[in-house]
Amino acid sequence: MTTEDLSFVIVGHVDHGKSTFIGRLLHDTNSLNTDRLEELKAACFALGRELEFSFITDHLQEEREQNVTIDTTQIKFKTDKRNYTIIDAPGHKEFLKNMLTGASQAEAAVLLVDAHEGIQEQTKRHATLLHLLGVRQMMVLLNKMDLIEFRQERFDQLKTELLQFLKTIGIMPAHVIPLVAKDGDNCVLRSERMNWYTGATFLDALDQFTCKNDTAHKPLRYPIQDVYKIADKRILVGRVESGTICQGQEIVFLPSQKHTRVASIEVFGKTNKKEAAPGESIGITLADPLFIERGEIACAIDAPPPIAKKIEAHAFWFSPHAFEKKDRIRLKLATQDVQCQVEKVDRIDSSTLNTIEKDATLLHTAEIGKFILVPEKPLVLEPFDQIEELGRFVLEKDGEPCAGGIVVSTHGTL
Ligand code: GDP
């Protein structure tokens, strides 16, 4: 049986209880070894405090700071169902860069809100940003329910307010859960102090999120990385990004539109492989002697992606050099590499998410651009919502990576 993996991010206003919640979660899922826990208890005792769960998280953070080469912490824990990674970045910019370049991609988000303080501006910004980054699975935790005497009316009121706001940005959270991170209510174990709540606990809700490996059920996308000639065979190699590929299957290469069948699936050291799934790096040979190069994408014949004339995209500009609208940029997506013109770019402040300027001529470091791009050659891509691997790209200027982005929508077909 293969184990599932899911990465998620927890966001919330400072002091709303994120560290406490992470510490509590690691403790209640037995993810801390006993020696470490004893060490931490002793350290707290020495400070004249009981074990505070935020202490566990702070301690993990200190360990990360000693290792300056990585810019995300990956905190791991397990349930019976799958392995989880909590993605945490030291700052907003690192988080954006990691998400948009795919260095660490959160598949889901947890929005933590202090029920006593209510929804803050920062909470709204976090939610908007996650939506901009293409995160579509989200749940909300209303923490510190003890400070509002576990009252259902206050919970319902906050829930309604939050849902109304989230709806305006197109988010429908899967769950809204009343929580006491400090004591563990509804984190892993069901709260006995809030019997009025009959929904899922945090951990149950997490297990209900879906994993990326559901890409097996999506249409085939197999970008070609290289073509090898071995003896009299031409072997096309690449990684299956979505769907499955089988011996005998009819496929279409895009953008060239050439059709053929898969004659064989070749994997080093294995004979007679009949089928390959997402994530597998394989080679294939073809039934017809077609000329296929790197950058072509083998697709399911009954569900090929469109070849768009224009792309609407969100990209985070991380280069220290500003972008000028007249610059020619290269878009790298899967194994494709295509020159693009920028028809329009709106500048968005990545901290406040305010639009600074519409139809701008410049985009500065650490700003988000809402781009309309026109590829100079046919380019195969899809909205990030549909197939992530064909919806995430890097922009290069003068051979240097400058921005990471996602495809929001495509317009017109060639
Ligand atoms: P962060 O800044 O979001 O990481 O917040 P912390 O985890 O450091 O928590 C901020 C403060 O809120 C600390 O004093 C915690 O002890 C407290 N806190 C966290 N969760 C709860 C809770 O469920 N109930 C109460 N009463 N206090 C909490």
Q: Check residue 249 and give its pLDDT.
A: 97
User: Would strands 137-143 and 108-114 be described as parallel, antiparallel, or unpaired?
Assistant: parallel
Q: Check residue 153 and give its pLDDT.
A: 97
Instruction: Give just the sign of the alpha carbon dihedral 239, 368, 17, 72.
Output: positive
Closest among 187, 169, 168, 167 to 177, alpha carbons compared: 187
3-class secondary structure, 280: coil
> Between residues 211 and 104, which one has the greater pLDDT?
211
**pLDDT tens for each residue of 229-268:** 988 889 999 999 999 999 999 999 999 999 999 999 998 8
24 CB less than 6 Å from ligand 1?
no
Distance from residue 16's CA to the centre of ligand 1 (Å): 6
Mean pLDDT of 185-206: 97
CATH 2.40.30.10-classified regions of the chain: 215-300, 307-413
Distance of CA 194 to the CA centre of its chain: 33
Share of the chain above pLDDT 90, in %: 57
Distance from residue 128's CA to the centre of ligand 1 (Å): 24
Among protein residues, the one with the nearest Cα to ligand 1's atom 2 is 15
Distance from residue 54's CA to the centre of ligand 1 (Å): 7
- For residue 255, whether the previous peptide bond is cis, meaning omega lies within 30 degrees of 0, is yes
pLDDT of 109 strictly over 60: yes
The position carrying tokens 């297990």 is 207
**pLDDT tens for each residue of 366-397:** 899 999 999 999 999 999 988 888 998 989 99
Q: Check residue 110 and give its pLDDT.
A: 93
3-class secondary structure, 28: helix
How far apart CA 53 and CA 2 sit, in angstroms, is 32
**pLDDT tens for each residue of 306-326:** 898 999 999 989 889 999 998
Q: Check residue 270 and give its pLDDT.
A: 77
User: Which class would CATH give 215-300?
Assistant: mainly beta
Q: Check residue 155 and give its pLDDT.
A: 97
> In CATH, what number does 4-208 get?
3.40.50.300
Contact 18, 118 (CB under 8 A): no
> In CATH, what number does 307-413 get?
2.40.30.10
How far apart CA 176 and CA 161 sit, in angstroms, is 12
Q: Output the six-digit token pair for 186.
A: 């509804």
Measured CA angle at 129 (ends 128, 135), to 5 deg: 95
Compute the mean pLDDT over every residue in the chain, rounded to the nearest whole number. Answer: 88
Q: Residue 328 — very low, low, confident or very high, per pLDDT cuts 50/70/90?
A: confident
Distance from residue 112's CA to the centre of ligand 1 (Å): 11
Q: Check residue 70 and give its pLDDT.
A: 38
> Between residues 175 and 414, which one has the greater pLDDT?
175
How far apart CA 176 and CA 185 sit, in angstroms, is 14
Among protein residues, the one with the nearest Cα to ligand 1's atom 19 is 17
Distance from residue 187's CA to the centre of ligand 1 (Å): 14
Closest among 401, 335, 403 to 371, alpha carbons compared: 403
Mean pLDDT of 77-82: 91
- Torsions phi, psi of 356, nearest 5? -85, -40
> Between residues 19 and 47, which one has the greater pLDDT?
19
pLDDT of 1 strictly over 70: no
Site to substitute for ligand 1 among 27, 47, 54, 180, most atoms within 8 A of C-beta: 54
CATH 3.40.50.300-classified regions of the chain: 4-208
**pLDDT tens for each residue of 259-303:** 999 999 998 877 789 999 988 999 999 999 999 999 999 999 999
**pLDDT tens for each residue of 168-186:** 888 899 999 999 999 999 9
- Torsions phi, psi of 148, nearest 5? -120, 30
How far apart CA 406 and CA 101 sit, in angstroms, is 9
pLDDT of 69 strictly over 50: no
pLDDT of 351 strictly over 60: yes
Q: Check residue 35 and give its pLDDT.
A: 73
Q: Residue 68 — very low, low, confident or very high, per pLDDT cuts 50/70/90?
A: very low
> Between residues 170 and 59, which one has the greater pLDDT?
170
Cβ count within 10 A of residue 40: 20
144 CB less than 6 Å from ligand 1?
yes
pLDDT of 140 strictly over 80: yes
Q: Check residue 71 and give its pLDDT.
A: 46
> Between residues 412 and 71, which one has the greater pLDDT?
412
